[in-house]
Structure 1
Amino acid sequence: RAASLYALWLGSHYVVVVNSYRHAREVLLKKGKAFAGRPRTVTTDLLSRGGKDIAFASYGPLWKFQRKLVHAALSMFGEGSLALERIICQEAASLCETLSAAQDTALDVAPELTRAVTNVVCSLCFNSSYRRGDPEFEAMLEYSQGIVDTVAKESLVDIFPWLQIFPNKDLALLKRCLKVRDQLLQQKFTEHKEAFCGDTVRDLMDALLQVRLRAKNSSPPAPGLELTDDHLLMTVGDIFGAGVETTTTVLKWAVLYLLHYPEVQRKVQEEMDQKIGLARHPHLSDRPLLPYLEATISEVLRIRPVSPLLIPHVSLADTSIGEYSIPKGARVVINLWSVHHDEKEWDKPEEFNPGRFLDERGQHIHSPSPSYLPFGAGIRVC
């Protein structure tokens, strides 16, 4: 046992907790394939229909093939695309109008941020946008929150699977939320399959259908490498679930820190006024012009990581971390909170300081320390 690494038994599961960036990088990068597995749990099996998504699926040829096709789809309709930027700008403008209209009254910004982000992800995935109060939209918000509240709990049923034979409020809530999710996803998927035209890509679901069709046409799938409708549905569910929760969490923390550090808020505003001006909205292409804003976002991701504990990995063979032997089948948890608050790597880690992500010329440093891993790293990087 060492301060940077320790092990414990959770029921019959041997769990190794990694607290240092050196060991974390060894697990994620140096020995990424050896630790590329995912644990099978009751809740994640329900969530992913037995591991048919990307996040919780077992590592192997099918997972690699699926990930390759998803990357191809995202490159068609993902980060950096004009379509995505248009969607984000529309929702950002709508959010600003809501905030402006409430200047003289108290407003809980959390649900407004959640609505805005959910609408962006809905537009990205389904080419759908919703007004406040829309029943389908409210159902999405409700089931998303219900899934987060149950899966993120690390329920005892995941440690002792036999407990699922007894009444379980969390498991019952998860099943109800998944029933609503599956009905909505199936409806959207059926509509997209019926309207699908190979030459027109309206959204991410169309893009996934197109790359699957191209893969089939280019060469017959090898045995065990065919992506079913379930795989596509769970992939969209992954993107929807992870995209909404993570982005909303980052925005909530960003708002909170800007409120508590008005001098940082003022510098961000001054930079945007000087570099962008008041005549237009900022664009993704403006990011190089806004190093202090970029540094502020990076610092939010450091001081309050989206996932303080990364999704557990599983060792696929007998291996080691540092000088310690790790048996096959061990669950390995990266304690990202500890990594991002290591006093040996970060000066006053509990202090919110965007300046740590700026060089002497005031330019943004993407990773001032090897212990900065906001999205994980390696084969299973977010």
Structure 2
Amino acid sequence: MVSPGLLLLLLLLAGTRWLWGRWKLRSLRLPPLAPGFLHFLQPNLPIYLFDLTQKLGPVYRIRIGLQDVVVLNSNRTIKEALIQKWADFAGRPQIPYENLDLDLSLGDYSLTWKAHKKLSRSALMLGVRDSMEPLVEELAQEFCERMRAQAGAPVAIQKEFSLLTCSVICYLTFGDKVKAALLPLEPLPQALLTFAGLKLKFLPNPGLWKLKRFQENRDDIVREQLKLHKDSQVSGQWKDMIDYMLQGVEQQREGTDAGQLHEGHVHMSVVDLFIGGTETTATTLSWTVAFLLHHPEIQKRLQEELDLKLGPNGPNSQLLYKNRMQLPLLMATIAEVLRLRPVVPLALPHRTTRASSISGYDIPKDTIIIPNIQGANLDKTVWELPSKFCPGTREGSGTGEEEPQARLGRASRAICPRPTDRFLEPGKDLRTLSFGCGARVCLGEPLARLELFVVLARLLQAFTLLPPPDGTLPSLKPQNFTGVNLLIRPFQVRLQPRNLVPQDQGQNP
């Protein structure tokens, strides 16, 4: 038991250390400090933080306990920190997590982390590159067939998208759907994403034991797959990402000790792919369906574009991702949904590896930085009418600009109050900050973009999206932000099969 005298001494030492740290900062030009201590209790935290820019500007500090955290809320400031000065801001804060040194998403910046990311990215872009698109196409076709069996009936589309994206990751990592393992893996992504949130990392949470059981089940499945792959692998050949990464680890052992990897890194790469590649993509697909239900005129134009470019022959028509810009409205719609509803609206926190600066403000070493992706995607200096759903059109009319808090819940059918071409201008960059940027950019971005393109193209080619019989449209207001994901409220949709011309009566253009 700690004596009162020792406890008092510890408190004095902690207080002295804090005062010394504040005294050392006295000569620096720090970002302005937002008043208050309970910022993270706000129900719509990304929008709340963005609203603070009206008084404090795009760069400011908020206080969490005794620690100041710098929040970045604009395209310019986020790109300055994470792209122009990426080495200064590539670190991660130290958090209580047993596999932190093996985790790609949460691990700190180091030579080992760089080697780990390089191996994982190589496995995705080289190891399964040739099989990725045919696989997504095949699973998208199977998905449409399952939906055709429920034609006209209300469907909880989010769950169906979750099963689809989980199947994609299972195939890419395990070489099979692994149906027996699919169910225990399915609930993990959101639970683990919540665990990665600041609240669970720094505060006690009653769901921690349940999460621990999820982790144990997950790790048992991954360990079993690693063993199966080691027992069956053939040198120089690989059928999936695990094969590729295991052989990459073996080859690295023959080289230098710098950034040395081992089987534990392969294990955590698989975990990161399931966390970052299932519910995130499924949620974006669900948001897209919700927006199209509110904007049937956009859905109709998308179907006309698909029929014109791919022909009326349904699933047998050629659909290649490399030719995606032949479907400009589909690409613009995907970009606009990613802009308005980034699945991870607050990027995981960064840490400065050395003293730096942003927009003329001094940023000391070991400062925690939170990039507000949703704020950047609503930046008026970059986007005209940023709160409006405008994938790219010169049609439609509506009301004027809304306040940030109101615009998340507005379900207006209006596209834009005045003509605009958000993403349809020739040469327009379709990339937003929704996948992050710089050294910590989302590893699975290429796969996610491929899935969004193929699944939505096949879905809209085969079905017309309709509300349930009672006409209820899904809410465009996200669930309260409590973890990492910007989640959509549950809804149902009817998938009405389209009357396509039989294959022997039409030809592809």
TM-score after normalising by structure 1: 0.88
Counterpart selection for 1:129 from 177, 198, 208: 177
1:158 aligns with 2:218: no
8 Å CA contact retained: 2:70, 2:370: yes
> 1:364: how far off?
6.1
3-state SS in 2 of match to 1:354 = coil
* 2-structure distance, mates of 1:102, 1:202: 34
> Structure 1: where are the runs of 5+ without partners?
none
Q: What RMSD over aligned residues (CA atoms) do the two structures have, in Å?
A: 1.8
Pair 1:73-2:133 in alignment: no
2:138 alignment partner in structure 1: 90
- Could you list the structure 1 runs, at least 4 aligned residues long, displaced by more than 6 angstroms after superposition: none
SS of 2:370's equivalent in the other structure is strand
Residue 105 of structure 2 aligns to a residue whose secondary structure is: coil
Separation in structure 1 between the aligned mates of residue 253 and residue 363 of structure 2, nearest angstrom: 40
- 1:58 matched to 2:108? The reply is yes
Find the partner of 2:186 among 137, 141, 150.
141
2:355 aligned to which of 308, 313, 318: 318
Aligned to 2:293: 259
Q: Is the CA contact (8 Å cut-off) linking 1:143 and 1:180 kept in structure 2?
A: no
**Secondary structure of residue in 2 paired with 1:345:** coil
Supply the AA of the counterpart residue of 2:423. F
Gap change, CA 1:180 and 1:148, over 3 Å in 2: same
1:237 and 2:271 are equivalent in the alignment = yes
Deviations 1:95-114 (A, max 9, x none): 11122222221111110000
Instruction: Render the CA deviation track for 1:334-376: whole Å, top value 9, x for unaligned.
Output: 11111111223211111111111111xxx462248xxx31211
Letter in 1 for 2:312: L
Task: Provide the secondary structure at the position in 2 that maps to 1:7.
Answer: strand
Query: Which has a greater percent of helix?
Result: 1
Looking at structure 2, the residues matched to 259 and 88 of structure 1 have their Cα atoms a distance apart, in angstroms, of 24
1:77-132 alpha-carbon deviations (Å, 9 max, x no partner): 34xx33111211121111111222222211111100000110011001111215xx
Q: Please give the secondary structure, in 1, of the residue aligned with 2:102.
A: coil
Alpha-carbon shift at residue 250 of structure 1 (Å): 1.2
CA contact (8 A) 2:190 2:275 kept: no
CA contact (8 A) 2:352 2:367 kept: yes
Tell me, yes or no, if the aligned pair for 1:146 and 1:173 is still in contact at 8 Å.
no
Pair 1:17 & 2:17 matched:
no
The amino acid that maps onto 1:215 is Q
Q: In 2, distance between residues paired with 1:194 and 1:366?
A: 46
**Partner Cα separation in structure 1 for residue 378 and residue 188 of structure 2:** 33
**CA 286–367 in structure 1, closer or farther in 2 if over 3 Å, else same:** closer
Partner of 2:215: 178
User: 192-201 or 115-124, which moves further after superposition?
Assistant: 192-201
Counterparts of 1:35 and 1:276, CA distance in 2: 45
Matching residue of 2:436 = 376
Please say which structure displays the higher CA radius of gyration. Answer: 2
Which stretch shifts more, 235-244 or 5-14?
5-14
CA distance in 1, matches of 2:383, 2:322: 30
Q: Does the 8 Å CA contact 1:140/1:181 hold for their aligned counterparts? A: yes
Work out whether residues 11 and 159 of structure 1, in 8 Å CA contact, stay in contact via their aligned partners in 2.
no
Q: Does 1:309 align with 2:346?
A: yes
Q: Are 1:202 and 2:239 an aligned pair?
A: yes
> Distance between the aligned counterparts of 1:65 and 1:271, measured in 2?
43
Structure-2 change in CA distance of 1:20 and 1:272 (3 Å): same
Give the secondary-structure state (helix, strand or coil) at the position aligned to 1:15. strand
Which residue among 304, 309, 319 is the counterpart of 1:270? 304
Return the offset for 1:13.
Answer: 3.0
Deviation track 1:153-198 (CA, whole Å, cap 9, x = no partner) reads: x32x5335xx5xxxx4122122111111101111111111111111
The match for 2:483 is none
The gaps in structure 2 that reach 5 residues or longer are 1-31, 33-55, 393-421, 443-509
What is the CA-CA distance between 1:290 and the residue it aligns to? 1.0
How many angstroms does 1:252 deviate by? 1.0
2:91 to 34, 37, 41: 37
Aligned match of 1:7: 61
Between the aligned partners of 1:196 and 1:350, the Cα distance in structure 2 is: 51
Q: Secondary structure at the match of 1:124?
A: helix
Query: Is 2:151 the partner of 1:117?
Result: no
Does the 8 Å CA contact 1:13/1:159 hold for their aligned counterparts? no
Letter in 1 for 2:371: I
AA matched with 2:77: H
- AA matched with 1:26: E
Q: Do the aligned residues in 1 keep the contact of 2:80 with 2:358 (CA within 8 Å)? A: yes
What is the Cα deviation at residue 199 of structure 1? 2.5
Letter in 1 for 2:88: A
TM-score scaled by length of structure 2: 0.67
* Percent identity over paired residues: 32
Shift of 1:135: 4.4
1:151 to partner: Cα distance: 2.9
What is the distance in 1 between the residues matched to 2:430 and 2:391?
Answer: 12
Which secondary structure state, in structure 1, belongs to the residue aligned with residue 345 of structure 2?
coil
Q: How many residues align?
A: 356
Specify the SS of the correspondent of 2:89. coil
Q: Deviations over 1:312-347 (max 9, x none)?
A: 100111222112111211110011111111223211
**Residue 357 (str. 1) matches residue 357 (str. 2):** no
Question: Which amino acid is the alignment partner of residue 435 of structure 2?
Answer: F
Counterpart of 2:58, as a letter, is S
Among 102, 111, 117, the alignment partner of 2:150 is: 102
* 8 Å contact kept, 2:305–2:329: yes
Q: How far, CA to CA, are the matches of 2:348 and 2:437 in structure 1?
A: 12
Q: Distance in 2 between matches of 1:169 and 1:278?
A: 53
Paired residue type of 1:5: V
Alpha-carbon contact 2:249-2:262 (below 8 Å) kept: no
